């Protein structure tokens, strides 16, 4: 979703330990452990909310003390096999690089990010494999997690020194944002920066991301611009999201809106689909827009509950759908909630009745529901209309409601 070659979070990633804002205590104990206390515990677990500098600290420390980081993170599968394949060789010999004459090198350092993401099933044996590595390791093992209290990590915690990270305090974040504004030549209102910092809830990374997305285009940031921010934590209504979606002037704008809005994606997709014909009246434009929405739906299907890395493509297709012909946009009244949900709600009784009718036909005439619906229901309906007390009723054991429904049923 990023518009620039370099994300500011990457560009301003702390190079030195002292560049990391906040969490002084945690930084100090980590450095102390790395320098002097590695004989007490072979591994350390850094834990705390996202975006407060855990990964940054490991990277900065490695750089300062000359370690090579061997990293595995949540996107790598961490089954026992995977852990052993990567981590074991990395931890079983010490400072091999010393032989190459590169004197600054202190050797390898194994870094397992997001260990709380070790899934129960796919990563079977992952925790015990990590413990084994810690016990045998000749190099420092560092882990990071957001939530160390989950059951599966309990055995791991015994092997580690625990270092806790806190949310970074607002004034520190504001100061950092000001520094970045200066370097990026962004003129920002102080209140706007304050707002971003508060909204971030102590997450430095998200604060920098917000700053970039709000000010990159104009290099100017007012308190008004931060209105969009509210959507990250507070729900903006479906109508509001739809409004901004259809009124958007560029794909970038839509992508930004969608990444901030917290509307349910399935509902949003349905609502977009419902409202497209109001937005595009020309059949070719409508077809083009629906082409994109259809693809967005494909990505939604593939995302399922786990392939969230596909989300950006989902956003992209949706964004394209809103930008088929920006000139033709005129405000219109939205259909909401989704037609599908309303229709299915009102017709549930009818469907259930038809379902039980078809079950009875299926059982008596050895056919599936679908065949019953196509090849029997229309005829049985006509026969009942001809003869109200037809023996069919008794033979199929239709209830009064079912007979009634058959008689009144429209043609499909």
Contact footprint for other proteins (CB under 8 A)? 266, 269-270, 273, 276-277, 283-284, 286-291, 293-294, 297-298, 300-302, 339-340, 343-344, 346-347, 350-351, 354-355, 362-371, 373-376, 378-379, 382-383, 386-387, 390-392, 394-396, 409-412
Nearest distance from residue 309's CB to other proteins, in Å? 17
Closest CB to other proteins among 35 and 348? 348
Closest CB to other proteins among 120 and 391? 391
Nearest distance from residue 358's CB to other proteins, in Å? 9
Closest CB to other proteins among 12 and 268? 268
Give the alpha-carbon dihedral of 197, 201, 202, 208, to 10 degrees: -50
Closest CB to other proteins among 149 and 401? 401
Alpha helix positions (H), 159-203 = 170-184, 190-200
| Alpha carbon distance 101, 99 (integer Å) | 5
Q: How many CB atoms lie within 10 A of CB 31?
A: 16
Three-state DSSP class for residue 150: coil
Nearest distance from residue 318's CB to other proteins, in Å? 11
Closest CB to other proteins among 91 and 273? 273
Nearest distance from residue 77's CB to other proteins, in Å? 22
Q: How many CB atoms lie within 10 A of CB 166?
A: 13
Closest CB to other proteins among 107 and 338? 338
Copy the structure tokens of residue 285: 């434009």
Task: Tell me the C-alpha to C-alpha distance, in Å, between residue 323 and each of 155, 290, 296, 334.
Answer: 52, 12, 14, 18
Q: Compute φ and ψ for 161, nearest 5 degrees.
A: -90, 135
| Alpha carbon distance 361, 377 (integer Å) | 8
Closest CB to other proteins among 92 and 343? 343
Closest CB to other proteins among 69 and 409? 409
Closest CB to other proteins among 249 and 302? 302
Nearest distance from residue 210's CB to other proteins, in Å? 30
Closest CB to other proteins among 191 and 370? 370
Closest CB to other proteins among 166 and 302? 302
The number of angstroms, rounded, from the C-alpha of 246 to the middle of its chain's C-alpha atoms is: 23
Nearest distance from residue 298's CB to other proteins, in Å? 5
How many Å is the Cα radius of gyration of the chain?
Answer: 30
User: SS3 sequence, 46-64?
Assistant: EECCCCCCHHHHHHHHHHH
Task: Tell me the C-alpha to C-alpha distance, in Å, between residue 130 and each of 46, 68, 163, 186.
Answer: 15, 19, 18, 45
Nearest distance from residue 369's CB to other proteins, in Å? 5
Nearest distance from residue 360's CB to other proteins, in Å? 10
Query: Comparing C-alpha atoms, which of 274, 294, 297, 276 is closest to residue 285?
Result: 276
| Alpha carbon distance 143, 129 (integer Å) | 14
Task: Tell me the C-alpha to C-alpha distance, in Å, between residue 403 and each of 355, 371, 375, 399.
Answer: 13, 19, 17, 6
Copy the structure tokens of residue 181: 């504004």
Nearest distance from residue 399's CB to other proteins, in Å? 16
Nearest distance from residue 300's CB to other proteins, in Å? 4
Query: Comparing C-alpha atoms, which of 325, 333, 323 is closest to residue 243?
Result: 333
Bridge partners of 45? 143, 162
| Alpha carbon distance 134, 252 (integer Å) | 45
For the chain, what is the total number of helices (H) and then of strands (E)?
21, 7
Nearest distance from residue 401's CB to other proteins, in Å? 15
């Amino acid at each position: 979703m990023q518009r620039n070659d370099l994300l500011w979070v990457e560009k301003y990633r702390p190079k030195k330990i002292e560049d990391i804002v906040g969490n002084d205590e945690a930084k100090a104990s980590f450095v102390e452990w790395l320098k002097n206390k590695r004989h007490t515990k072979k591994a350390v677990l850094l834990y705390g909310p996202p975006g407060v500098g855990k990964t940054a600290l490991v990277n900065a420390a490695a750089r300062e003390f000359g370690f090579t980081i061997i990293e595995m993170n949540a996107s790598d599968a961490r089954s026992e096999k995977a852990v052993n394949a990567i981590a074991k060789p990395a931890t079983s010999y010490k400072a091999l690089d010393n032989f190459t004459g590169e004197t600054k090198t202190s050797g390898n350092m194994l870094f397992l990010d997001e260990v709380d993401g070790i899934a129960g099933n796919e990563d079977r044996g992952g925790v015990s494999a990590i413990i084994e590595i810690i016990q045998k390791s000749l190099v420092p093992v560092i882990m990071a997690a957001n939530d160390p209290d989950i059951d599966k990590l309990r055995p791991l915690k015994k092997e580690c020194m625990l270092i806790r990270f806190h949310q970074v305090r607002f004034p520190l974040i504001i100061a950092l944002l000001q520094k970045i504004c200066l370097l990026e030549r962004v003129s920002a209102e102080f209140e706007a920066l304050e707002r971003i910092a508060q909204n971030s809830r102590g997450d430095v990374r998200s604060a920098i991301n917000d700053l970039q997305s709000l000010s990159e285009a104009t290099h100017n940031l007012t308190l008004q611009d931060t209105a969009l921010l509210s959507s990250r934590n507070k729900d903006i209504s479906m109508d509001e999201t739809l409004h901004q979606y259809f009124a958007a002037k560029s794909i970038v704008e839509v992508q930004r809106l969608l990444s901030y809005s917290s509307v349910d994606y399935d509902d949003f997709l349905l609502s977009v689909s419902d409202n497209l014909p109001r937005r595009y009246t020309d059949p070719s434009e409508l077809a083009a827009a629906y082409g994109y929405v259809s693809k967005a739906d494909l990505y939604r299907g593939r995302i399922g509950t786990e392939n969230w890395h596909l989300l950006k493509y989902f956003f992209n297709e949706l964004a394209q759908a809103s930008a088929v012909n920006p000139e033709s946009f005129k405000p219109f009244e939205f259909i909401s909630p989704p037609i599908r949900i309303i229709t299915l709600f009102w017709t549930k009784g009818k469907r259930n009745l038809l379902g039980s009718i078809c079950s009875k036909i299926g059982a008596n005439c050895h056919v599936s529901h679908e065949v019953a619906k196509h090849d029997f229901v229309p005829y049985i309906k006509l026969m009942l209309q001809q003869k109200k007390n037809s023996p069919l009723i008794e033979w199929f054991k239709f209830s009064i409601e079912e007979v009634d429904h058959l008689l009144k049923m429209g043609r499909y």
